[in-house]
Each structure stands twice: as structure tokens, then as C-alpha cells.
Structure 1
Amino acid sequence: MKNLIIIITTLFVTVSFSQEKEEQDLLAIKKANSYVYEGNQLSKGEDFVTAEMEYRKAISENVSSAVGAYNLANAYYKKGSFEEALYRQQQVVQSSTSKAEKHKAFHNIGNILMQNKKCKEAVEAYKNALRNDPTDDETRYNFGLAKECAEQQKDQQDQNKDNKDNQDKQDENKDKQDQKDKDKEGDNKEDQKDKGDQDKKEGDDKKDEEGKPKEEKKDQDKGKEDTQNKDQQKPQPQPGKLSDQQIKSLLEAMNNQEQKVQEKMNAEKQKGVKVKTEKDW
């Protein structure tokens, strides 16, 4: 009996708690819808700042509801805040339980991506939108535009890649040619250096131990030879024969002696002394 009372009491509390939670959820949804309505009205009047505040209140009251996030995303889109709009639409996709809500969110995500020139990603978004609602002609039309845009972007990327490859190849060829020219210039400098070293070596070979050019030494040697030849050409004194210099010296000595004799004779003559003019035999 006691256990039965406990079970009945527990069921009563559980039912009461569930009813209370349901009433709270309904109240939250009601408040959220009210905030969404206010946000929609403000958004129509282009009061985006206040509309954003109302939509945020709606999201805080009912986190699981996609309406607040969806309308907030649309407000951001109208204001040109595409990154914020994309973030909120992605929230809608995660929180939505119906295909209709998911279709609208993916459709709007595709529109945002097209605004950001991300055509390839937009194609995938429109595909997801059509999976949730294949009958929407507007989504199908946007899907076709996104595909065409993605193909053009791919062609442009391929062209840019080819241009880059060609430019890289040209740069590589230019670098190779510059390296060849540099190597050639280095070889020319090396050849000039080798030639200079060879000329210097030849110049050193022409110098004697004293560092004078051998040509000068040769001329000096030649001068010495000429002097020796001249000395050899001079008459050399021979044994038993007087040289010209010796003869000249003897003549000067004889003249001096004769002058002395003449002076002596003059002196004797003045004294009256008879002088022999001839030699005795």
C-alpha cells in the first residue's frame, strides 16, 4: 500500500512538471514570436539596429526556434553584413526540424555565397536547397547561374595557372641564362687573370736576380764587351819597345834637359868663359 502511494505521487509530480515545462516552452515561443514580429516591423522601417536587438531577444527566449535566427540573418543580409548573415543561416540549418525551413536557409546561404563570389560553394548550397524542395523554380534558376559562374571561375583559374606556369618557366629560363652569362663572365675574368699571370711570369723571366730586366743586363753586357774590344784594339806595349806615352815622356825630359843646358851656356857666356860647342871624341 505504501509503495503504491509513492508511485502515484511520483506520477503526479512528473505530470505536473511536464505540464509546467510545456507551459514555459509555450510562453517562450510566444515571447520569441513577439520579438520576431517587432523585429520584422523595425526591419521594414530599415531600423536594423533595433530590429537586430529584437531578433536576438527572440533567439534567447527560444534557442531551438529557427525563426529568430532566420529573420536576423535576413536583416544582416539587407544591411550588407554577409558574414554575419551566413553565420545565422547556418544556425538555422542546424536548429531546423522541417524541410521547408532547411530549404529556405540553404537557398539564402547560396545567395550570400554568390554575393561573396564563392560560386562553387553556392552551387552546393542550392543543391541542398533543392534536396529539401525540388519544386522551387527560383532555387533552380539560381542553381543554374551559380553553375555557370563556377565554370567561368574555374576557366579563369586554369588560365591564371597556365599564365603563372608560363611566367615561372620564363623566369626559370631567364635565371638559367643569367647564370650562364654570369659563368661566362667569370670564365672571361679567369682567362684575363691567367693571361695577366702569364704576362707577369714572362716579365719575371726577363729579369735577372737583381730584379733588372734581362734586356738591360744584356745591353750592359754588350757595353762591357764593346769596352773590352776597344781595350783590345788599343796598341799594347810590347817587350823591348817603348810605348807612345813613354816616348812622349822621354821627349819632354830631353827638352827640359836641353833647356837647362842652354840656360847654363848663356850664363857662362856672360862670364866670358869659352864653351865648347862640339863634343870631344
Structure 2
Amino acid sequence: MKQLFIMCLALLTSMSFAQDKDKEKELQRTLETAKDYVYQGNELVDAENYINAEMEYRKAISKAPSVVAGAYNLGNSYYEKGNYEEALFRHAQAAETATSKAEKHKAYHNMGNILMKEELCQEAVEAYKNALRNNPTDDETRYNFAIAKDCAEQQKKQDQDKEEDKKDEDKEDDKNQEDKKEDDQKKDDPKDEGDQDKKDGDDQNDEGKPKDEKDNGEGDKKEDQKQNGKPKPQPGQLSPQQIKNLLEAMNNQEQKVQEKINAEKQKGVKVKTEKDW
């Protein structure tokens, strides 16, 4: 019985080992197939046949997603065509599935380059940081990191300036709104309308005759007297000189009339030669 148990256990172990070996062989064949697709894709890229290269890389990813070269090279293919969004996605996929620091470094470095193309400088800084964590000695990555950092600082300053300008515009708009609101309130306030009517009435009275003795223009008259030495005639009144001239004219006219009457009387009356007693 014991011998039978040992024989069964050995048989099961051998079968399990055989299955694992078969799986390993299948996995190996899958990886080789994926690598072949990648190789064919690389050949097509060299020939600048990016469309067919993309197809081969996609086959490699579908066959073996763990083959980093498929996603990485596909990302490069999209980059060459200017499809930065898809290129970024593929390099992020490569960085996630990569198992070595060298592979991760390349993927993050290319992600930084793509983000710089899209003018996403702060995101590019983070990508280059990840690349340097996996390979701190790469001079090109350090150089790109410095460029991205400077770009991110400039963009931050520009955003702050825009924010300040926006605040100033909002304050100006608020002030204009307040001024408009005050103007509308003045237009709608009956008291203001009454004051305006009173003001208009006062202006009209100033143009015509004064309403009372206090506002009859005496102050202006005295001021004119001080300036000219003569009283200034008011509207509707005659100056003293005009009155004097008028009286003289009336006296002259009256004298002429009287002389005419006397001449008429002399014609009808005889001249006396003797005096009456």
C-alpha cells in the first residue's frame, strides 16, 4: 500500500513537471513570436513605413504585453507621426510593464520629451525625475530636466500674472457696476428729480427777473459799479444817461411846439403901438 502511494505521488509529480515544462515552452514560443513582431516593426520603421510598423507592434503587444519593446517602439512610432497622445499612452504602458531600470529610464525619458512637445512643462519635470531615479547618470535626461524645470517656472509666473490681471479686471468691472447702480438710483429717486426741477427753475429765474429783493442782482450791480464807476442798467431799465437824453429831447420838442404856437398867435393879433394903462 505504501509502495502504491509512492508510485502515485511520483506519477503526479512527473505529470505536473511535464505540464509546467510545456507551459514554459509555450510562453517561450509566445515571447519569441512577440519579439519577431517587434523586429519586423523595427524594420518597417527604418523604411519609414510607420503604418505597417504600427500593426506589427500591436501584434507584439497582443501576443505578449510583457514584452516592453512592443509598447515602447509603438510609442516611438506614434511620436514620429506626431500623434503625441497615443505615444504618451504607449510609453506609460512600457514604463509600467518594464522590469529593468534601463527600460523604465528610457520610457520615462521619452514621456518627458512628449510632454515638452505638448508644452506640459511641469508634467515633463515629473517624467524626467522618474527617469533620473532609474538612471541618475544620463546627461541628456539631466539636461532635459533643467530645460523642463525652467519652462515650468516661466509658465507658473505667466499663470500668476494672468490671475493678477483677471483680479484687476474683476475689480474694474465691480467698480463700473457700482457706478452704474448709483447712476440708476439717482435717475429713479423722486427726490433727486425734485431737486433737479428746483435747480432748473432757479436757472430760469436767474435768466429772467429776480423773484425777491435778496436775489435781484444788487450784488452784481454793486460789483459792476466798483469795476466801471457807473451803474450798470438792468434788463428792461434805462440808464441815467439815457433818461437825461430823453428829457432833453422832450424839452426841445416841447420848446419847438411852443414856438410854433406863439408864431401862430402873432399872425392874428395886431401890434400895439402904445402901452395900456
Q: Which TM-score bucket, shorter chain as reference?
A: 0.5 to 0.7
Give the distance between the partners of 2:8 and 2:191, measured in 1 at CA. 108
Shift of 1:13: 1.1
Match of 2:157 in 1: 155
Q: 1:133 aligns with which of 132, 135, 143?
A: 135
Give the distance between the partners of 1:189 and 1:50, measured in 2 at CA. 84
Give the distance between the partners of 2:141 and 2:95, measured in 1 at CA. 16
Match of 1:242 in 2: none
8 Å contact 2:35–2:67 — kept in the other structure? no
Match of 2:7 in 1: 5
Give the distance between the partners of 2:7 and 2:192, measured in 1 at CA. 112
Q: 2:90 aligns with which of 75, 88, 91?
A: 88
Match of 2:68 in 1: 66
Residues matched between the structures, number: 196
Give the distance between the partners of 2:34 and 2:111, measured in 1 at CA. 23
Structure 1 residues 20-31: aligned runs within 5 Å? 20-31=22-33
For 1:237-277, what per-residue CA distance to the aligned partner results, in whole angstroms no more than 9, with x for missing partners? xxxxxxxxxxxxxxxxxxxxxxxxxxxxxxxxxxxxxxxxx
Give the distance between the partners of 1:30 and 1:61, measured in 2 at CA. 10
Q: 2:168 aligns with which of 166, 169, 173?
A: 166
For 1:132-185, what per-residue CA distance to the aligned partner results, in whole angstroms no more than 9, with x for missing partners? 000000000000000000000001000000000000110011111111111111
Q: Which has the larger radius of gyration?
A: 1
Q: 2:104 aligns with which of 97, 102, 110?
A: 102
Give the distance between the partners of 1:190 and 1:180, measured in 2 at CA. 12
Give the TM-score normalised by structure 2. Answer: 0.68
Q: 1:145 aligns with which of 136, 144, 147?
A: 147
Give the distance between the partners of 1:188 and 1:51, measured in 2 at CA. 82
Letter in 2 for 1:112: I
Q: 1:194 to 1:184 in 2, by over 3 A?
A: closer
SS of residue paired to 2:189: helix
Give the distance between the partners of 1:63 and 1:13, measured in 2 at CA. 29
Instruction: Name stretches of at least 5 consecutive residues in structure 1 with no aligned partner.
Output: 197-281
Q: 1:178 aligns with which of 177, 180, 187?
A: 180
Shift of 1:194: 11
Match of 1:44 in 2: 46
Give the TM-score normalised by structure 1. Answer: 0.67
Give the distance between the partners of 1:18 and 1:188, measured in 2 at CA. 98
For 1:197-236, what per-residue CA distance to the aligned partner results, in whole angstroms no more than 9, with x for missing partners? xxxxxxxxxxxxxxxxxxxxxxxxxxxxxxxxxxxxxxxx
Letter in 2 for 1:7: L
Give the distance between the partners of 1:13 and 1:94, measured in 2 at CA. 35
Give the distance between the partners of 1:136 and 1:188, measured in 2 at CA. 80
CA RMSD, Structure 1 to Structure 2 (Å): 1.8
Q: 1:114 to 1:194 in 2, by over 3 A?
A: closer
Give the distance between the partners of 2:53 and 2:194, measured in 1 at CA. 84
Give the distance between the partners of 2:127 and 2:190, measured in 1 at CA. 66
Q: 1:10 to 1:133 in 2, by over 3 A?
A: same
Shift of 1:187: 1.4
Identity %: 47
Letter in 1 for 2:142: R
Give the distance between the partners of 1:45 and 1:88, measured in 2 at CA. 21
Give the distance between the partners of 1:158 and 1:151, measured in 2 at CA. 11
Match of 2:118 in 1: 116
Shift of 1:117: 0.7
SS of residue paired to 1:112: helix
Give the distance between the partners of 1:188 and 1:133, measured in 2 at CA. 80
Match of 1:35 in 2: 37
Match of 2:16 in 1: 14
Letter in 2 for 1:108: N
Letter in 2 for 1:185: K
Letter in 2 for 1:46: E
SS of residue paired to 1:135: coil
SS of residue paired to 1:134: coil
Shift of 1:26: 1.2
Match of 2:267 in 1: none
Shift of 1:191: 3.1
Letter in 2 for 1:10: L
Structure 1 residue runs of 4+, over 6 Å off?
193-196
